[in-house]
């Protein structure tokens, strides 16, 4: 059943992307390189989130059952998709989008019953945070979709390690949808995910990862969810802190994200994306192993391997300067 669901989500997304490209041109959901932040020179449609969400939702409807948690997650994701698509067409104010993100996360968290009482506020914050974090990294061809696919697989494995095999299926569906979309989004991109894609997928990953907080053993294993999404979270926090220290709004766009900085030293788009995907995979591996105490020794050696990889990547970037 899991394999069939993965095949369905992948195949459906792959089939949906071409008509979504045509639809994006028709409705005006197009990224025009009209300012200094853009890393592309031609206008590109940016409504790829439609294909990702629809394929994921169909796979969930066919193979995922009808639990309140899944229904609320999909409903919240649909709201995020609608608001994101409106932003891709009309460029909505950032604060307006944030209010809708909070509303969608609040409704999904309370409606699903995944978190109650004092746990509700952190859960809502986590979902909104991941929504924005994935929006922040969607600035390089193939980067967001690749990271989301890796994170989905890592999240599924983390559930297995924690003995929560029932929750491991849905992240795989999302990962395969993102992987299929990446075929059209890799350099040179034919389509961008858009706000309707990055924000929605971040929301879905946030909701799907909430059960993991209750499945880890406690102590150092509580770091597992943060390691799974370490790259987008780091980019989010550094961007917000950088803007605040410079006296700017946290919503003010700039060209100082990690992918901007790596490309600026001389790496090509594919090289930069590959570096960041390697980092995502390395930290995700540590996050998977650290989720249960019985895997702490393998997690230690995985951490050493990740540290060596990061040093090699740093040297590679330095050599390219």
Q: What is the pTM of this model?
A: 0.94
Predicted confidence band at 295 (pLDDT cuts at 50, 70, 90)? confident
Which pLDDT belongs to residue 305? 85
Question: What tokens appear for 144 in the block?
Answer: 């967001």
- What are 250-254's contacts with CB under 8 Å, separation 24+? 251/94, 251/95, 251/98, 253/37, 254/37
Between β-strands 44-45 and 30-31, what pairing exists: parallel, antiparallel or unpaired? antiparallel
Predicted confidence band at 317 (pLDDT cuts at 50, 70, 90)? low
pLDDT at 288 > cutoff 70 = yes
Q: Residue 170 to residues 42, 107, 153, 315: CA-CA distances in angstroms?
A: 35, 20, 10, 37
Which pLDDT belongs to residue 23? 98
Which pLDDT belongs to residue 14? 98
For residues 42-58, average pLDDT: 96
In this structure, of 46-55, 147-156, 253-262, the range with the lowest mean pLDDT score is 253-262
Which pLDDT belongs to residue 65? 85
For residues 72-101, average pLDDT: 96
Q: Which H or E element spans position 224? A: helix 224-228
In this structure, of 24-33, 186-195, 236-245, 246-255, the range with the lowest mean pLDDT score is 246-255
Return the residue matching tokens 């369905």.
8
- What are 238-241's contacts with CB under 8 Å, separation 24+? 239/136
Q: Is the peptide bond before 188 cis (omega within 30 degrees of 0)?
A: yes
Please tell me the distance from the alpha carbon of residue 232 to that of residue 257, in angstroms, as a whole number. Answer: 10
pLDDT at 235 > cutoff 90 = yes
For residues 88-106, average pLDDT: 95
For residues 79-84, average pLDDT: 97
Q: What does pLDDT average to over the chain?
A: 91
Predicted confidence band at 159 (pLDDT cuts at 50, 70, 90)? very high
Which pLDDT belongs to residue 5? 96
For residues 72-89, average pLDDT: 97
Which pLDDT belongs to residue 320? 66
pLDDT at 70 > cutoff 60 = yes
Which pLDDT belongs to residue 141? 94
pLDDT at 36 > cutoff 60 = no
Which pLDDT belongs to residue 308? 84
pLDDT at 190 > cutoff 80 = yes
Which pLDDT belongs to residue 90? 94
Which pLDDT belongs to residue 291? 84
* Better pLDDT: 38 or 183: 183
For residues 232-255, average pLDDT: 88
Q: Residue 86 to residues 70, 96, 131, 310: CA-CA distances in angstroms?
A: 24, 11, 16, 38
Please tell me the distance from the alpha carbon of residue 179 to that of residue 175, in angstroms, as a whole number. Answer: 6
For residues 313-318, average pLDDT: 71
pLDDT at 157 > cutoff 60 = yes
Which pLDDT belongs to residue 20? 98
């Amino acid at each position: 059943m899991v394999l069939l669901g993965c095949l369905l989500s992948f195949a459906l997304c792959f089939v949906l992307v071409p008509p979504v490209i045509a639809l994006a041109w028709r409705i005006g959901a197009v990224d025009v390189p009209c300012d200094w932040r853009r890393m592309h020179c031609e206008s590109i449609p940016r409504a790829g989130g439609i294909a990702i969400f629809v394929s994921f939702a169909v796979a969930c409807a066919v193979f995922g059952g009808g639990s309140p948690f899944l229904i609320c997650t999909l409903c919240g994701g649909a709201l995020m998709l609608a608001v994101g698509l409106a932003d891709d067409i009309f460029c909505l104010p950032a604060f307006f989008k944030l209010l809708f993100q909070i509303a969608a996360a609040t409704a999904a968290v309370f409606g699903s019953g995944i978190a109650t009482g004092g746990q509700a506020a952190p859960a809502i914050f986590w979902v909104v945070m991941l929504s924005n974090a994935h929006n922040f990294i969607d600035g390089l061809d193939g980067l967001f979709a690749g990271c989301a696919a890796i994170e989905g697989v890592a999240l599924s494995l983390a559930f297995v390690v924690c003995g929560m095999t029932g929750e491991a299926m849905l992240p795989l569906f999302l990962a395969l949808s993102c992987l299929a979309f990446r075929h059209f989004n890799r350099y040179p991109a034919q389509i961008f995910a858009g706000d309707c894609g990055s924000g929605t997928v971040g929301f879905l990953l946030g909701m799907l990862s909430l059960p993991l907080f209750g499945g880890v053993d406690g102590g150092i294993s509580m770091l597992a969810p943060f390691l799974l999404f370490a790259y987008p979270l780091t980019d989010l926090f550094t961007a917000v802190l950088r803007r605040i220290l410079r006296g700017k709004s946290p919503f003010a766009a700039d060209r100082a994200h990690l992918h901007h900085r790596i490309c600026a030293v001389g790496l090509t788009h594919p090289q930069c994306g590959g570096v960041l995907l390697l980092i995502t995979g390395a930290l995700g591996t540590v996050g998977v192993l650290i989720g249960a105490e019985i895997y702490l020794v393998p997690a230690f050696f995985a951490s050493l391997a990740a540290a060596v990889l990061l040093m090699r990547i740093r040297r590679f970037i330095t050599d390219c300067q």
